[in-house]
Structure 1
Amino acid sequence: MLRKFMLATAAATTVTFGTAASGQDYPNKPVEIIVSFSPGGATDILARVIADELSSQYDQPFVVQNRPGAGGTLGTTIASRAEPDGYTIFLGQVSSHGVAPPLYGDQIEYDPLEDFTPIALISASPQVMVVRSESEITSVGDFMAKAEEQDLIYASSGIGTTIHLSGELFNNMAGTDLVHVPYQGSGPAVSALLSGEVDVMFDDLPSSMSHIRAGALRPLAVTVSEPNPSIPDVPTLSEVGGEYGLEGFDASAWFVIAGPAGLPEDVVTSLNTALNEMLEGDSMQKFLSDNGAVAMGGTPEDAVKHIEAELAKWAEVIRAGNITLE
């Protein structure tokens, strides 16, 4: 599965490493993994699983340090300013390395590529286009027909979240004019969908999975290029939405391990190898599968290419939708 979802290496892409050598005994002391969100959330949980796996591989402690604040940008900034010696790394995600830079602009103090050394992509969890089970909409085709007849409303977990931006990406590609209503988190947004206050949601799969399994929500499509093993019978939006301009639609919650800019090349190589081995292991494969995610992996250059593509995509969505946080 790792290789199936691995990104192709871009030969023209380069990563700039530090020139200092870390030695053959890396790591010889504990390594911090900075997480820019509070304990208990999806990013924190994944970081702790990664920390346990790397601690076992290296026989040195990898310790999660939570640095929440400012929508995740505080911890990201702290990570970008760490000493580039391999003893502070960062679990970045679509928010920190794809959405925040074009959304916040000059309000943030880091560049996701210039101030970081991407080491390896970790995983991606798709979003799922869902309606409540009582809805007369049973397919993407039904949805498009209904959207031509009346204004449809989609819920999100807040302005500037990937759940919000996925709806805007849908509008851009399909030429629809779905009305956005933001809520204070995914839970309230899903509740609004269940109660009929809104018509549709592009929710993170783990958030909606229990409602899908209970029959309360009907999945119309997943928002990535491959069907998800957790709901294999649900088609991709790209597959069933081609005639509506949705071919190539891709939106997911993805994660990347990175270090500060200038990280020694041998440290990057060591960590990249360890992370890819971790992703191929049975325990990580089970953890990801149980959470509706797939392993990514690959080279540091793959991670750079992915981040560049995500930055460009979400910058265009934000620009086209005139999205601001004010």
Structure 2
Amino acid sequence: MESIAPFGARKGRSLPSLVRFSFVALSLAAAAPASAQSADDYPNRPVTIVVPYSPGGATDIVVRAAARELTAMYNQTFIVVNKAGAAGQIGAEFVSKSPPDGYTLLGYPENIYSINPFVFGEAANAVSQRLVPVTNLGGSPTAIAINTTGKMKDVKTFADLIAFTKSATVPVTYATSGVTTPYHLLAQEIARTAQIKLVHVPYKGTSDALTDLVGGRVDILFGAPAVMKPMSDAGKVRMLAVSSAERFPLLPELPSISDTLPNVQLKNIDNGIAAPLGTPPAIIEKLNKAANEILARPEIKSTFERNLLLPMPGSVAEYTKRVTETRTERERLIKAANIGQMALPQ
């Protein structure tokens, strides 16, 4: 199947150009004179931050930590509400259609802008176009872990894993938290680049996949390092590498997969905050500045690090650039994996 380009693409315009055009247009729209509202008295009533997933995930963790600090900073309640479902689209659509006044924000998992628009059709793309980046909060790379018993017992490094898979006479299976997740895209890229065959076993969540990895029902797991580390520390699984271009500071003992496959890497999976298109730039800048101040606090760093999340401070422009680059990277991987349009999960 062919991959799905963002809807609204004009004939003759390349996808990277379209992506750059899209986010530049959103940034300019957010800065329009019609939004020239003062942020001096913002916030003067409670602010709701919608997390489009169930509690306990990375986006939920970083948003709740930020909300606690923002509540204390402004003496106004920042309420976190979970609106899960449809790969995050239910919560994202709710925020995208909310008044652009800074009082309804989105906990911004990357799939809303980097994956869903390419695989879930026009409605998902339209939602992504009605949101603007406010601030990054924290992120982490994808980790690769294996079962330590059975046929994988002698695999000690990522290079060993590639060599083992090339010579395997039985299928080698890998688990992820679902089709089209960054974890799935990374596994496909590794298989294609290393010219190995891997059989995908998708799960509804990384925790369930980890249980089956420990039990030997799957051979490899691609997922969030925070989920794997307790079992790795207990010797039940072996973490081999991370997807970032360089070693992850919170897991410095793990090499990058690019040490073995130089052309393969995956940008960290970011979790930030977005606002409805048209939100006054002064409010966006005020929130961004506050978030950067919060991310420098030792207690926030400690909370993030316990969950193997790296604080990601930066300006609105820097975050918007990163969103664009991540979207371009994920689109390329979706196209290379030959993933076409599919129905939204329930």
One fold, TM greater than 0.5?
yes
**2:141, 2:269 within 8 Å by CA — same for their partners in 1?**
yes
The structure 2 residue matched to 1:153, chosen from 161, 166, 173, is 173
Give the residue type in structure 1 aligned to 2:84.
Answer: P
Residue 278 of structure 1, CA deviation: 0.7
Residue 161 of structure 1, CA deviation: 2.3
1:87 aligns with 2:107: no
Give the residue type in structure 2 aligned to 1:118.
Answer: P
Alignment of 1:103-252 (within 5 A): 103-108=119-124, 110-112=126-128, 114-134=129-149, 135-150=153-168, 151-242=171-262, 245-246=263-264, 249-252=265-268
Q: Which runs of 4+ in 1 moved over 4 A?
A: none
Unpaired segments of 5 or more residues in structure 2?
1-19
**1:79, 1:89 within 8 Å by CA — same for their partners in 2?**
yes
1:57 alignment counterpart? 73
Residue 187 of structure 1, CA deviation: 2.0
Q: Deviations over 1:189-226 (max 9, x none)?
A: 11222222222111211110101111111111111133
**2:38, 2:282 within 8 Å by CA — same for their partners in 1?**
yes
Unpaired segments of 5 or more residues in structure 1?
1-9
TM-score, normalised to structure 2, is: 0.83
The structure 2 residue matched to 1:276, chosen from 258, 275, 292, is 292
2:91 alignment counterpart? 75
Greater displacement, 310-319 / 292-301: 310-319
Residue 251 of structure 1, CA deviation: 4.3
1:4 alignment counterpart? none
Residue 18 of structure 1, CA deviation: 3.8
SS of residue paired to 1:165: helix
Shift in alpha-carbon separation, 1:93–1:37, aligned structure 2, 3 A: same
1:287 aligns with 2:303: yes
Give the residue type in structure 1 aligned to 2:235.
Answer: G
Shift in alpha-carbon separation, 1:286–1:147, aligned structure 2, 3 A: same
SS of residue paired to 1:110: helix
| Count of matched residue positions in the alignment of Structure 1 and Structure 2 | 310
**2:51, 2:80 within 8 Å by CA — same for their partners in 1?**
yes
**2:52, 2:82 within 8 Å by CA — same for their partners in 1?**
yes
State how far apart, in whole Å, the 1-side matches of 2:50 and 2:68 are.
14
SS of residue paired to 2:120: helix
Q: Deviations over 1:277-318 (max 9, x none)?
A: 111111111111111010112111111221112222222222
State how far apart, in whole Å, the 2-side matches of 1:65 and 1:22 are.
26
Q: Percent identity?
A: 31
2:5 alignment counterpart? none
1:32 aligns with 2:52: no
State how far apart, in whole Å, the 2-side matches of 1:23 and 1:121 are.
20
Q: Deviations over 1:160-186 (max 9, x none)?
A: 223222212322443333221112321
